[in-house]
Amino acid sequence: MTDLVIRPLVAGEEELFDSMPDPLPQLRQVSYADGLAGGGYQPERTWVALRNGRVVARAAWLLPPGSVGEPWLERFDLAAEPHEGAALLRAAHDVLGGPKVYHASAPAYWRRQPQVRAVVETAAAAARQAGLVEGGERIRCSWTGGPLPASACRFSFRPAVDAAEIESLVARIGTPELLTGAETARMVGGVDLARAPLAWLTGPTSDWRVALDDDEPVGLAAPTAHACFPMIAYFGLLDEAARGELLADAVATLAAGGAYEVVVDVDAHRVAVVAELERTGFRRVRSRLLFTPAVGEVALPSA
């Protein structure tokens, strides 16, 4: 078999990345061309493996302009054996200063589709061979209209009074149930969305919604239309019984402002939360598997 040629792209050959057929065309994601135009992708952070001049593996590390963190592996496609994909990643790691975080996108319900599962698992095997360790899975869900569940009217809702109230509730909640865009907040802004959401969500604090049982706050949500698309960026509870009504209120708030689609990210292991999202009318649109450098494979600052 012909040896692989593994190298980064050079300026002027960006179309080489797209010469490889997309193995998951049903997956909605930002195109490589749009990423280049926005400055997040760069040729020197884009690597390919070629056999007989044909791209059989490709990897692109993303770092939006102005980011405070390191680039992360956003695109990794493989039409070769896992060890060959691992060879590409290791070569890039040597230049990039070590392994970086990898967010592997997959279609919704990817485990139920044998051909899709094979694509995802081949790339995952290569990532593991290259020194990355698989962590959690996050599901993106989308609401695109339709009636919301009827409210039991047990709880009432109002805008947050001010930043101090939001910060107080965030501290009491501790671990929110939904964090949408948390990875971007961490990588781009260095912000922990669970602990300091106002450092990232800079829209009016009056957009935040507080759930009340009588006059006692029992939940907090940040439905925001000030990001790249309408989303529930933060959602936390002090009383799990408020989950359904607060979720419906957050969606209704965005819809009243003209949103035709609302997205959320949820950890896959939160079965009850996923079930409530689906009852509210959300549908799964993708999964993202997290891979991080193994112990002893700590990423070094890039030169």
Residues 130 and 235 in one domain: no
Domain of residue 235, residue span = 146-280
Rounded mean pLDDT of 9-20?
Answer: 92
Residues 64 and 91 in one domain: yes
**What's the DSSP call for residue 261?**
-
- pLDDT of 296 reads 54
Q: Report the sign of the C-alpha dihedral through residues 184, 186, 189, 191, in that order.
A: positive
Residue bearing tokens 């109002």 = 158
Distance CA 293, CA 127 (A): 10
Domain total for the chain?
Answer: 2
Residues 51 and 170 in one domain: no
Identify the CATH number of the domain in which residue 52 sits: 3.40.630.30
As a whole number of Å, the end-to-end CA separation of the chain is: 35
**pLDDT surpassing 90 at residue 1:** no
Residues 201 and 250 in one domain: yes
Number of other residues whose CB lies within 10 A of the CB of residue 280: 20
Residues 134 and 150 in one domain: no
Q: What percent of the chain has pLDDT over 90?
A: 88
Kindly report, residue by residue over 114-171, the tens digit of the pLDDT. Answer: 999 999 999 999 999 999 999 999 999 999 998 999 888 999 999 999 999 999 999 9
Six-digit token string for 131 = 């020194």
Query: What mean pLDDT value characterizes the chain?
Result: 93
Distance CA 133, CA 121 (A): 13
Residues 75 and 104 in one domain: yes
**Residue 53 · residue 7 · CB < 8 Å:** no
